[in-house]
Amino acid sequence: MKPERTVLVTGCSDGSLGSALALAFHAAGWRVFASARNVSKMAVMKENGIEQVELDIQSSESISRAVETIQAQTGGSLDALINNAGLGYSMPLMYTDMGALRQLFELNACSNVTIPRAFLPLLLASKQKKTLIANNTSGMGMLGCGMPFQGGYSASKAEAASLTESLRMELAPLVFKSSISLQVE
């Protein structure tokens, strides 16, 4: 019998891309850990029997608790990480609140390092031949893709794409087949 594959999907609030991804993995037979800052916003996950984990990607304490929870429930391994949580922001650059801009970079870019780093020991313990980290980036993050009122968002996604490419190359010598960017518009 083929061993059950496990995946953590971040950003799974109802109606989100993360929710759709979690449902798709679940339908394909994976054991899914769906996460969001607020578990009560994942009613669809609960209705479908998908395990829910509270995870605020901006809180090191929350990240540590999520790692411990998944480690305990899986025996210490994870086969895939779909790093989807993020934030949109639309504002003319000249009126952009710098605190909001910093939060945008923290959520959309820095989490592409902090979340894989936190779950790396579990991913390395996977018994699967291929282990996956997928970070959600955007076509808006391509260099030269400046859009009015989307400068902060585009810049955060450009940083996310660059960090993801570096992560892919750095993890290649380990057991990872690939680390990819999900570009969804």
Q: Catalytic residue, from 2, 89, 129, 153: name it.
A: 153
Q: Tokens in use for 124?
A: 């390395």
CA angle 62, 102, 155 (to 5 degrees): 115
- CA-CA distance, 147 to 152, in Å (whole number)? 10
148 CB-contact burial (10 Å; exposed 0-12 / middle 13-18 / buried 19+):
exposed
Is 153 designated active site? yes
Q: Is 157 among the catalytic positions?
A: yes
Residue 182's contacts (CB-CB under 8 Å, 6 or more residues apart) are: 82, 84, 134, 135, 136, 137
Find the helix or strand (DSSP H, E) in which 159 lies. helix 151-171
Task: Judge contact between 180 and 164, C-beta under 8 A.
Answer: yes
Give 12: exposed, middle or buried? Use CB within 10 Å, 0-12, 13-18, 19+: buried
Q: Could you tell me if 71 and 122 are in contact, meaning their C-beta atoms sit under 8 angstroms apart?
A: yes
Q: Which residues are catalytic?
A: 153, 157
